[in-house]
Structure 1
Amino acid sequence: MDLFSEQRPEFVPLATGACWLPGFALPVMDALWPAVQQHLCQHPAQQMMTPMGLMSVRTSSMGDWGWVGNSQGYAYSAHQPGTHLPWPPIPPVIAQLAAAAANRAGYPDFVPDSCLINVYAPGSKMGLHQDKDEMDFSQPIVSLSLGIAATFLFGGGKRSDKPVRIPLQHGDIVVWGGASRRFYHGVAQVKAATHPLLGAQRINLTLRKAR
């Protein structure tokens, strides 16, 4: 299948246990986007430090566990850096959407307890990495794209495996788990563009069962 075709299917298999759901979030966007906006107004995304340096994206979190990083490493934390307050709960529209996407991908009863929000300005990117800090690898990863288009890189079990390039648009969701749960993935450098709803940014929500 030509992933860059103008015709957008509803379900695209990517690997064993992984799929792309173009436009899956669009039916709930009227409730979804205001929930994300409100969260980012109250809990602004910030650049996190990692042992490899300052990230090019800005991050925030929702749920029982938020993702945090510093020069020593990164981990899930129940408290926000700086304020030490608990992260706010995942809004029902986001949790229900993630559960529906996971179910469509073959993972029933997915209940995320962590939602990482990455904010990409043009020029930002995310290097190939694995999601491997969670405790239950039987649970999938659900990744939602909002705003300007981006190329998602979905590789294999080894960093050297050549990734598939997936042209994600506003409202697309990618789900992976099972045999592909720890596959390497990333985001190519985001090109300058403007989205009519979000402006010159891409926002990605990654929902997981962290604990």
Structure 2
Amino acid sequence: MRILLVEDDDLVGDAICRGLGRGLADVAWLRTAAEASAAMAVGGFEVIVLDLGLPDGDGFDLLRGLRSGRDATPVLVLTARDGVEDRIRGLDLGADDYLLKPFDIRELGARCRALARRANGRAEDRIVVDGLCAEPASNAVTLDGRPLVLPRQEFRLLVCLMEQRGRVVSKDRIAELLYGWEEGAESNTVEVLISSLRRKVGAGRIRTLRGVGYMMP
């Protein structure tokens, strides 16, 4: 799961990156409204965790700009502001969830997974496709009931293709989800991952549409 974290507190930001990273989330941490606005314009995130009190602006303005651009990326507002009016304002501006500081990192992770799950139209954490079962919460995958051990990026690629079953996912979209807006991927990185994943789950499970992308039929 690719998460954009907008948080200016070093202790909070570091704790979130370490805590969510243990669950294989890929967290891009930015500390200012200007940086966050530029990152949101590029996109490629599955969930945005947004603090309100930023050194160069208010998180509500970022949220308003995101939604005015018709960007439906799920947003979890993470703040110390505990007033009811602030919560109402955030939700009315388009926030999908609201969590007050201090918080438990496990709850934050669970809320982020729930937002990503709902955005992909799933009611539960498990994703099942023809004998393949992936569970993002526990980073586990089985094939016909047998555990498969997949490296981090292969697991994320598999989840991406399973979530989009029946739809073509472009190479650029896969690279964006796996490596993010600020990281460069080698030109053949996606092909290498696809080839390795096919060997483990079966070549027939992943189709290549030359010049278009990949899909799980």
- Fold in common (TM above 0.5): no
Which structure would you say has the larger Rg? 2
Higher helix share: 2
What range is the shorter-chain TM-score in?
A: under 0.3
Instruction: Work out which structure has the larger RCO, using CA pairs closer than 8 Å and 6 or more positions apart in sequence.
Output: 1
| TM-score of the superposed pair, with normalisation by structure 2 | 0.23
Higher strand share: 1
| TM-score of the superposed pair, with normalisation by structure 1 | 0.23
